[in-house]
Amino acid sequence: MLDWTDRHCRYLHRLLSRHARLYTEMVTTGALLHGDVPRHLRFNAEEHAVALQLGGSDPADLAACARLGQDWGYDEINLNCGCPSERVQRGAFGACLMNEAALVADCVKAMCDVVDIPVTVKHRIGIDREESYAFVRDFVGTLSEGGCETFIVHARNAWLKGLSPKENREIPPLRYDLVYQLKQDFPQLTISLNGGVTTSAQLAEHLQQVDGVMLGREAYHNPWWLAGWDEAFFGAPPSGLTREAVEEQMVSYMEREAANGTSWYSIARHMLGLRHGQPGARKWRQVWSDHRLKELPARDVWALAQQAR
């Protein structure tokens, strides 16, 4: 979700669901230790509960970055052991770390030793053609000994050679039964499932077997889906939200961010799916994505978008 789930995206998603936990883009340890920390870690207070996802493989570096995350107010530190991109592999982290469970356990322990917030891990069910359940079972078991109590499991293998990141989300088959088996074998751990979930019915079915479900691209492209989650899955009363009210709140947010020098254009891109499947959605999207309007105030663009529908 690199370049997708930035703080502007998360602000929108929090408007839609008050209870779903939000996750940042993956931030590498190098970016934090040698780069612009505020740029990478700044977030809106409204986003809580929000987890910082880290990419790295050095225990000391990860510990330092986890401590930074806690100091900045994040509610959870999540280690990415699932990204299959070659760029990430060259940095010796992401999905290739599943081949080094002992090292990952050391990383988890190093982070747990310096923070009071939960340290969690996101990973795949296997690497390349390794389809043995024992592989992911042993990986989870080793990490739990390092102090990790929560695992988010993408129910596909990561093929490290020959497939693009997009293909790695589509070609390796989904094997939800392996994630269910992890929960059965480690009932004391929190096991969440990720991958291929596109409907609330599927989400509810998985929650009969595991503790949580993580959504990525489907939630991004169809964000209005989130508006029903609090009532359906968290026992909250009906929100009474409308797309119009959410859009108006986003315009107010754009105006707030404009005072900090942020263009409404960089925020609006995250809400282009808000009217997914609705009459007039195409013309509405065209207005909010028209770079020729970038110099107009957000509220003026909003008026044009309303007229376009």
| Per-position pLDDT tens, the chain of length 309 | 677 899 999 999 999 999 999 999 999 999 999 999 999 999 999 999 999 999 999 999 999 999 999 999 999 999 999 887 655 555 567 888 999 999 999 999 999 999 999 999 999 999 987 789 999 999 999 999 989 999 999 999 988 877 777 787 778 899 999 999 999 999 999 999 999 999 999 999 999 999 999 999 999 999 999 999 999 999 999 999 999 999 999 999 999 999 999 999 999 999 999 999 999 999 999 999 999 999 999 999 999 999 988
Q: Cα(166)–Cα(15) distance, rounded to whole angstroms? A: 28
CA distances from residue 212 to 23, 95, 201, 272, 302 in whole angstroms, order as listed:
14, 21, 14, 27, 36
Contacts of 1 (CB under 8 A, 6+ apart): 23, 25, 26, 216, 217, 220
Residues 28 and 159 reside in one and the same domain: yes
Residue 6: Cβ within 10 Å count: 17
Q: Is 83 a catalytic residue?
A: yes
Note the pLDDT of residue 169: 77
Please identify, among 214, 233, 252, the residue that sits at the C-terminal boundary of a domain: 233
Please identify, among 201, 233, 265, the residue that sits at the C-terminal boundary of a domain: 233
Which CATH number goes with the domain that contains 287?
Answer: 1.20.120
Residues 212 and 257 reside in one and the same domain: no
Q: Cα(284)–Cα(229) distance, rounded to whole angstroms? A: 25
Note the pLDDT of residue 143: 97
Note the pLDDT of residue 2: 73
Note the pLDDT of residue 92: 65
Give the pair of three-digit tokens for residue 242: 């409308």
Residues 207 and 259 reside in one and the same domain: no
Cβ atoms 82, 124 nearer than 8 A = yes
Which CATH number goes with the domain that contains 24?
Answer: 3.20.20.70
Quick one: how far is CA 40 from the chain centroid?
15
What is the span of the domain harbouring residue 147? 7-233
Residues 177 and 69 reside in one and the same domain: yes
The number of domains in the chain is 2
Note the pLDDT of residue 208: 98
Catalytic residue among 9, 65, 81, 83: 83
Note the pLDDT of residue 66: 98
Residue 38: Cβ within 10 Å count: 7
Residues 205 and 64 reside in one and the same domain: yes
Residues 63 and 158 reside in one and the same domain: yes
Residues 56 and 118 reside in one and the same domain: yes
Residues 165 and 272 reside in one and the same domain: no
Residue type, 272: L
SS3 of 128, please? coil
Residue 1 located in a structural domain: no
Contacts of 184 (CB under 8 A, 6+ apart): none
Residues 303 and 187 reside in one and the same domain: no
Q: Cα(47)–Cα(41) distance, rounded to whole angstroms? A: 12
Note the pLDDT of residue 88: 57
